[in-house]
Structure 1
Amino acid sequence: MTHSFSEDHQPRTPAPFDDEPMTGDLDLEDRRALRRVAGLSTELTDVTEVEYRALRLERVVLIGVWTDGTAEAAENSLRELALLAETAGSQVLEGMIQRRSRPDPASFIGAGKAAELRDVVIATGADTVICDGELSPSQLRHLEETVGVKVIDRTALILDIFAQHAKSREGKAQVELAQLEYLLPRLRGWGGNLSRQVGGRAAGGVGIGGRGPGETKIELDRRRIRARMAKLRRQIAEMAKSRDTKRGERRRNEVPAVAIAGYTNAGKSSLLNRLTGAGVLVEDALFATLDPTVRRARTPGGRTYTLADTVGFVRHLPHQLVEAFRSTLEEVADADLILHVVDGSDAEPEAQIDAVREVLREIGADRIPELVVINKADAADDLTLARLRRREPHSVVVSARTGAGIDELRAAIEVRLPKLDRELRVLVPYDRGDLVAQVHRRGEVLKQEHTAEGTVLHARVPVDLAAELARFEELAPTP
């Protein structure tokens, strides 16, 4: 279904819109119209009281620019934006797409379409417009002036969601830093506030009328923001030291680290709970997890490893967030294995995989061994699962909700963990129970039996522990 809005009341011959050059691959009808994306409205149909409707805030209209790919992909991107808007607490009234070869440099969708968007905003009673893309400061200002309501872009929306969900001290500091980095180039002032003139000869000899107040409000704001950003960076660096200490302890003990990464709302926390019984918050919402959670788990063979749940990724994840959350994302970059969780029930799971791998490359984690876990098998289409298995032949299909495929996943994790260095058979006296405990904690016990002389262990262990056990090796009975 499409809605077409004419740009004036007089008929005219087809011509390029908004000063954009015509290209042969763009259909004229698509270019002339804002395409309405059906099924996005979350407005309650039984609310008819005008007074009540006027009081509600954050009633949003979504607008996207379709530059390449299929119409279905463009609509899926806008549907994801609608989910993000709902997660932030907004109510989606309308969603539209404009077909262009590239976003308009002045107002994102062009002056004519911005005027049509203003009419839609007035007709729906919206108080916010959300753009499916990152707007430059000038685009944001021009679009706001035209439509007459608040305008935000995809980056600001994601930052707002992160701000709502941050719980820990470090998480809040990381989000605030990302927000300030986004805000700094978008500070605006009006009239005399923008004056940078100073008194006396420094005014350049302008004389009467050329002297100003000195440092202006906007300059003060910029200086304060930069000072706050420097303080936040120092705080985050200090808080990251404790996590570095814990990671160093795990490395010394040769405990393998497995990180769960994936698209937001793919079921990472549910999978962590299923594998470890951690009891981590599980919520059907985007970015429900921001703070990393590390839990201990065991393979079917009894080998111990750590499992870390991390923040979810999303298409076009703001660069400010990647930088601010770099210390948290180190849990992924320092892992021995990445469980890449994919939502098998999503409309475009392949796009999710590509988006996650793009972020992994950005944080330097693309060389770490990866195990693709296709989750939500109970809700996924069989054809989609078959397509994903062909694309990712070594993947594992599971359902964290029902537990299907979890045993196969545990076995796959065991196979892909780094191999231990020495396999040996020892007889450890009962007064050296500390060594037996180390073998269980740091190694993989293949067989254990208790005899009159002590504990017989057949195990694979790291080199340093094998050296401690070497003197008990010759005491072990022949199998």
Structure 2
Amino acid sequence: MSVFNRDAENEVTRGARAVIALPDLGRESRRDPGARLDEAAGLAEAIGVAVEEKLHFRIRAPRPATLFGPGQVQQIADAVIQAEAELVIVDAAITPVQQKNLEDGTKAKVIDRTGLILEIFGERAATAEGRLQVELAHLDYQAGRLVRSWTHLERQRGGFGFLGGPGETQIEADRRLIRDRMAKLRRELDQVSRTRSIHRERRQRAPWPVVALVGYTNAGKSTLFNRLTGSDVMAEDLLFATLDPTLRQIGLPGIDKVILSDTVGFVSDLPTQLVAAFKATLEEVVSADLLLHVRDIAHPDSEAQRADVEAVLKEIGVAETTPRIEAWNKLDLLGEEEKAAVRAEAARREDVVTLSALSGEGVGALQAHVAARLTAGHQRYTIALDAADGAGAAWLHQHGEVLDQRVEGDRIDYEVRMARADYERFLSR
């Protein structure tokens, strides 16, 4: 299901040439226009669209009909001719009427940022759940695009009964079909959500802490995930390289088992349709014991990206009290002076670790920091075991940090630091 094509005859495919138009409404002064254009180009290239021209326009008074002023629309049209482009990507959300008028003014297909991101998700979804989520988001987006600029939607179908009657217009029929399909998808996703909840409850009964990797798309989450787990999750210099959540078991200093979750990357102006559709996936983040926020510290908009991630976390219901650690990634892309400045700033904070997931630099320090945060509420206990109780000794080593042990005849006294819940579980064994 493609948001590119309004009709099959003019379908825009991979390899299409595109012009990007960035409308600067003055509300995002914290973002660098060049970095915003580069990100939009990265989104386009993620689905095989060749970006031929990037245009930045300051807009003082947005036009309801076209968003851009008449002269700006003409500049876009000229760029389309010059680049022999078939597609215009507006790096903002536009209304259906603006889309139609811009297509008329530029003689090219027009999609907005929401449509572009949906197109990427549609291509990347690999699992049945991911495909359901993306289709639901597509339909929600398309339902708002059924405007009367599509002339075939104005035709009427015949009514019921012998006398006929006014019948149902095509637009009403299409909306009804979309509503029915969306209702079916939501029921299927509810079932997925219930299944995921059962799995989560099982993990909570076996008290293994869950650490969720979150961050802006292309911040290096999957690279760090692979480094920590020894897995081979897709990790490329590509926006939205991974969509479906991946969970792996890892060990950390003093903790035998931790569940590490890699989630979809966030992005500025993430379509609300996708946030709603991916709620089942993002429930892993909501229920996590610790959030590991991976940041591309070499990016010029790193601070703005942090704010975008926090905004999405708030939108999906993550409590502000959920513990967080910021992993300032991609040290390898910084010069020596920049690297020293970043490390000095990180040293002044208790919730920051600097690293390079690609080279492995700082990953050991991150593991120790995560383990320290997860065991912050642990207490020290003295436990006496028979010397022959090998299973008990192994349990203590797996679920706590054995600080000392003393042999007293046929008994061994262990000094162990562990969570109160684990201590009570041990006493009840």
Shorter chain as denominator, the TM-score bin is 0.7 to 0.9
Deviations 1:299-324 (A, max 9, x none): 22244221111100111111111111
Once superposed, what is the RMSD of the aligned Cα atoms?
3.1
- In the aligned structure 1, how far is the partner of 2:413 from the partner of 2:336? 49
Alignment match, 1:269 = 222
**Paired residues of 2:18 and 2:51 also in contact (CA < 8 A):** yes
Describe the SS at the equivalent of 1:368. coil
Aligned runs of 1:206-245 on 2, under 5 Å?
214-245=167-198
Larger radius of gyration: 1
The letter of the residue matching 1:103 is P
1:324/1:192 CA distance change after superposition, 3 Å: closer
Aligned to 1:168: 127
Residue number in structure 2 paired with 1:130 = 89
Tell me the amino acid that sits aligned with residue 239 of structure 1: V
- Distance of aligned partners of 1:70 and 1:419 in 2 relative to their CA distance in 1, 3 Å threshold: closer
Partner of 2:18: 60
**Rounded Cα–Cα distance in structure 1 between residues aligned with 2:312 and 2:85:** 34
1:420 and 1:291, CA in 2 relative to 1: closer, same or farther beyond 3 A?
A: same
The answer for the alignment partner of 1:443 in structure 2 is 400
Q: Is the 8 A contact 2:133 2:277 kept in 1?
A: yes
SS class of match (2:274) = helix
SS of the residue aligned with 1:65? Answer: strand
Q: Measure the CA separation in 1 of the matches of 2:177 and 2:90.
A: 29
Within 5 Å, which residues of 2 pair with 1:192-203?
193-194=153-154
Shift of 1:188: 3.9
Distance 2:135 2:334 in 1: 37
Aligned counterparts of 1:72 and 1:168: Cα–Cα separation in 2:
34
What corresponds to 2:417 in structure 1? 460
Q: Spell out the pairing of 1:86-125 with structure 2 (5 A cutoff).
A: 86-125=45-84
One-letter code aligned to 2:138: Q
What residue number does 2:261 align with? 308
Q: Which moved more, 1:82-91 or 1:279-288?
A: 279-288
Find the partner of 1:77 among 36, 48, 53. Answer: 36
Residue 468 and residue 130 in structure 1: after superposition, are their counterparts in 2 closer, same or farther (change >3 A)? Answer: closer
The 2-side partners of 1:71 and 1:436 are apart by 55
- Residue type of the alignment partner of 2:50: Q
Q: What residue is the counterpart of 2:290 in the other structure?
A: 337
Q: Is the 8 A contact 2:91 2:113 kept in 1?
A: yes
Q: Which stretch of the first structure deviates more once superposed, 124-133 or 93-102?
A: 93-102
User: Taking structure 1 as reference, are residues 401 and 337 closer, same or farther at Cα in structure 2, changes over 3 Å only?
Assistant: same
Taking structure 1 as the reference length, what is the TM-score of the superposition?
Answer: 0.78
Structure showing greater relative contact order (alpha-carbon pairs closer than 8 Å, 6 or more residues apart): 2
Structure 1 residues 226 and 468, CA gap change in structure 2 (3 angstroms): closer
Matched, 1:373 2:327: yes
Paired residues in the alignment total: 412
Which residue of 352, 356, 379 corresponds with 2:305?
352
Offset of 1:285 from its aligned partner?
0.7
TM-score normalized by the length of structure 2: 0.86
Q: Tell me, yes or no, if structure 1 residue 179 matches structure 2 residue 138.
A: yes
1:436–1:65 distance in 2 versus 1, CA, 3 Å = same
Contact 1:256 1:336 in 2 (8 A): yes
CA distance in 1 between counterparts of 2:385 and 2:325 reads: 37
Counterpart of 1:14 in structure 2 is: none
2: CA distance, partners of 1:471 / 1:169 = 42
| 1:153 corresponds to 2:112 | yes
SS in 2 for 1:426: strand
Residues in 2 aligned to 1:72 and 1:462: alpha-carbon distance in whole angstroms: 43
Measured after TM superposition, the shift of residue 360 of structure 1 is: 1.2
Within a 5 Å distance, the mapping from 1:245-324 to structure 2 comes to: 245-324=198-277
Question: Residues 250 and 454 of structure 1: is their aligned pair in 2 closer, same or farther, counting only changes over 3 Å?
Answer: farther
Which amino acid in the other structure matches residue 367 of structure 2? R
Percent identical among aligned pairs is 41
TM-superposed deviation, 1:388: 8.0
Distance of aligned partners of 1:96 and 1:389 in 2 relative to their CA distance in 1, 3 Å threshold: farther
**Cα separation, partners in 2 of 1:453 and 1:405, compared to 1, 3 Å:** same
What is the match of residue 357 of structure 2? 400
- Asked whether the 8 Å contact 1:67–1:100 carries over to 2, the reply is yes
Indicate if the aligned counterparts of 2:385 and 2:412 stay in contact, CA closer than 8 A.
yes
* 1-structure distance, mates of 2:157, 2:202: 57
Say which SS state the counterpart of residue 231 (structure 1) adopts. helix
Paired letter, 1:58: A
